[in-house]
Structure 1
Amino acid sequence: MQKILVARPIFPDVVERLRQYFDVDWNDGPALPLDELARRLADKDGALTAGDRIDSAIFAAAPRLRAVANMAVGYNNFDIDAFNAAGVVATNTPDVLNEATADFGWALMMAAARRVTESEHWLRAGKWGAWRYDGFLSADVYGSTLGIIGMGRIGQALARRARGFSMRVVYHNRSRVAPQIEAELGAQYLSKDDLLRQADHVVLVVPYSVQSHHTIGAAELALMKPTATLTNIARGGIVDDAALADALHERRIAAAGLDVFEGEPSVHPRLLTAPSVVLTPHIASATESTRRAMANLAADNLIAALGMGPRAGQPPNPINPEVLGRARS
């Protein structure tokens, strides 16, 4: 049997599915350090990962490796140039997490806008003595302007939710979406700077790349309204966390909701003490049905990429389809 590594804890029944096809080495514990990951992959034909860095150093240590399935839609942990050079198939898990992630982005935006976390901490600290007319005054969501940076599947799901709140929707993307999609969503394309100036609530849903690194930094934060909120459900590194912490401490924007961070699981210490910020540990897709769908889709991708199952040789979600059928060099 071909050998694979399941590099992270996942649902045991999904591991059992994989064992029908492969000799499975399952790391059901903490994330493996890079040297241990390379050692465990040395004799493997495939791997199922969830954020683990896979690059040319891994391929040099694992000469049999032919396919790696990422249990995520984002794949900035994959060096795709190295995958292509080595002839290794890379896959991801798009679509199955769109609605759960959009739900969570909406919840995070609402919590930031209405100061939910800040007021809860105040209550738990025993500071609530009496009702006040000015207690935790916050920003309106209904009837406000939503700015979406990244109008892909999740961005479009967010825009659909905005209709129920009678929001004006503006968006920025690398390229405009089709006119019929703009019409369906009631969304207006703006330059990034114009969006930041006009939006009451900015939500980030762009994939991470060298080009999107620090899409929001000090200069961009300076364009935002002092009453505006910023929500990041994209990837750490899209926002300059140090610049955001400064803006929050100095009350240059009203609030932020963050599910992802630069260098996570580490969090910039000034974000931990910033006012009006909601912080969650990268859980936007964390409903049971969604995470199960992600795990099963990753398994489907790996089974097919390694030439097994009903879709042998044709994984559902190849990132680099040009290497399919090409022997690893």
Structure 2
Amino acid sequence: MPQVKVFITRRLPIELEQLRSLATVEVWPERQPPTYEILLKKVKEIDGLLCLLTDQIDRQLIESGKLKVISQMAVGYDNIDIRAATAQQIPVGHTPGVLTDATADFTWALLMASARRVVEADRFTRAGLWQTWEPDLLLGPNVTGATLGIVGFGRIGQAMPTAGCTYARRAKGFEMRILYTSRQRCQPELEQSLGVEFATLEHVLQESDFVTLHTPSADDTYHLISDRQFELMKRSAILINTARGTIVDPDSLYRALASGQIAGAAVDQGEPEPIPTDSLLLTLDNLIIAPHIGSASRQTRSKMATMAIANLIAGLTGDRLADCVNPEIYNS
């Protein structure tokens, strides 16, 4: 039996033969993540940890164990104290560059479903309310020719409007006007090739029929969309959030939707996550709430798990992680 031990905080959508040939592997079997107390106990016994965004990997936990590697199955890693891991010379892996297509696809799915009120229509039909064809039943806005506002123009943001990429002709295929705002403006050549216009956040909100959020979680993006921002938006506008739930103030979102300040919204994450069962947001017909499934294509989740396992094995065997958050540890 291998002496090296690893703990994986959730079941993965791939087989683990290669990892099991190198280490004793324990996989947490429950749908709910292990508690912090369980993690604190586990890190005293293991050499490698494969975790998710839902796991709190703080300084106390890192300093309590003898970890050789932390591998996160996610692009983001704000749940991990990277500074503490670096101080302990523990490489931290993540899985970048694999979510772009799947999340952009899902953003587009939410946009279309919100515009054409697909979820409302399904509930309407299942409730036995469909009696006949009606000229004014469940009307929604056109997508073709509308203005799309993209807040945050990273890989996923660019995938939304790209005309030339093999994986995306979404917005350009619908002849949309595309506005974007981001910390840094793109080069003019890229703007021209993508067919996008740079604008301030305020202008994007004022002009757009659909607003999609793709910004990372940071101090300056916490509740980036709140009462003031909703007041700037068109009453016919629809907001789509497949980024972090903390970017949108949930109380402001409820007020905007309940009052008709905006027409609709669709979110893939919430604050907190999961959204509490007694949340007023769940009472709204003009809101679609998905359970954090933006990257949930079989191919994408399999690739994420494969990358996370590869990072884990590299750390256990003393090799450099292919996707390392803190590569400076290799220089010391």
Secondary structure at 1:82 match in 2: helix
Cα 1:76–1:305 change in 2 (3 A) is same
Q: What amino acid maps onto 2:103 in structure 1?
A: T
CA distance in 2, matches of 1:226, 1:157: 27
CA distance in structure 1 between the aligned counterparts of 2:190 and 2:71, rounded to whole angstroms: 31
Identity %: 39
- In 2, distance between residues paired with 1:183 and 1:93? 30
For residues 85-164 of structure 1, what are the structure 2 equivalents within 5 Å?
A: 85-160=87-162, 161-164=170-173
Q: State the secondary structure of the residue aligned to 2:10.
A: coil
> Which residue is 1:321 aligned to?
327
CA distance in 1, matches of 2:141, 2:49: 46
1:181 paired residue number: 190
What residue is the counterpart of 1:31 in the other structure?
33
Give the secondary-structure state (helix, strand or coil) at the position aligned to 2:150: strand
Structure 2 gap segments, 5+ residues each: 163-169
Shift of 1:37: 1.1
Q: Secondary structure at the match of 1:306?
A: helix
Q: Which runs of 5+ in 1 are unaligned?
A: none
Q: Which residue of 2 aligns with 1:53?
A: 56
Q: CA deviation at 1:11?
A: 2.6
Alpha-carbon distance in structure 2 between the residues aligned to 1:40 and 1:266: 28
Question: Which amino acid in the other structure matches residue 131 of structure 2?
Answer: G
Q: Report the number of matched residues.
A: 320
Q: Could you tell me which amino acid in structure 1 is paired with residue 58 of structure 2?
A: D
Range that drifts further, 164-173 or 266-275: 266-275
Task: Give secondary structure in 1 for the equivalent of 2:149.
Answer: strand
* Aligned: 1:79 with 2:101: no
Q: Which residue of 2 aligns with 1:66?
A: 68
Residues 291-302 of structure 1: matches in 2 within 5 Å?
A: 291-302=301-312
SS of 1:293's equivalent in the other structure is helix
What secondary structure sits across from 1:159 in the alignment? Answer: coil
Per-residue CA deviations over 1:279-309 (Å, capped at 9, x if unaligned) read 111011111111100000111112223335x
Q: Is the 8 A contact 1:172 1:192 kept in 2?
A: yes
Q: TM-score, normalised by structure 2?
A: 0.92
Partner of 2:23: 22
Q: Note the C-alpha offset of 1:130.
A: 2.0
Q: Deviations over 1:226-278 (max 9, x none)?
A: 00000110112111111101110111101101110011113471110113111
Write the letter of the residue equivalent to 1:3: K
Distance 1:27 1:258 in 2: 28
Residue 265 of structure 1 corresponds to 274
1:48 CA displacement:
0.8
2:203 pairs with 1:194: yes
Q: Tell me if the contact between 1:151 and 1:171 (Cα under 8 Å) persists in the aligned partners.
A: yes
Q: Are 2:147 and 2:209, in contact at CA under 8 Å, matched by a contact in 1?
A: yes
Alignment counterpart, residue 279 of structure 1, candidates 279, 289, 305:
289
Contact 1:118 1:277 in 2 (8 A): no
Between stretches 277-286 and 15-24, larger displacement belongs to 15-24
Please state how far the C-alpha of 1:174 moved relative to its aligned partner: 1.2
Larger mean CA deviation between 158-167 and 259-268 belongs to 259-268
Q: Which amino acid aligns with 2:314?
A: A
Separation in structure 2 between the aligned mates of residue 174 and residue 81 of structure 1, nearest angstrom: 24
Distance 1:172 1:91 in 2: 29
AA paired with 1:113?
A: A
1:87 match: secondary structure: coil
- Which residue identity is paired with 1:231? I
- Aligned counterparts of 1:219 and 1:193: Cα–Cα separation in 2: 10
Change (3 A) 1:38 1:178: farther
Root-mean-square deviation (Å): 1.5
SS in structure 1 at match of 2:50: strand
Distance 2:186 2:311 in 1: 28
SS in 2 for 1:257: strand
Q: CA deviation at 1:325?
A: 5.6
Shift of 1:83: 2.6
- Tell me, in whole angstroms, the C-alpha distance in 2 between the residues paired with 1:96 and 1:244: 30
Deviates more, 1:17-26 or 1:37-46: 17-26
Segment of structure 1 superposing worse, 213-222 or 19-28: 19-28
Moved over 4 A (4+): none
In 2, the alpha carbon distance for the partners of 1:239 and 1:190 equals: 20
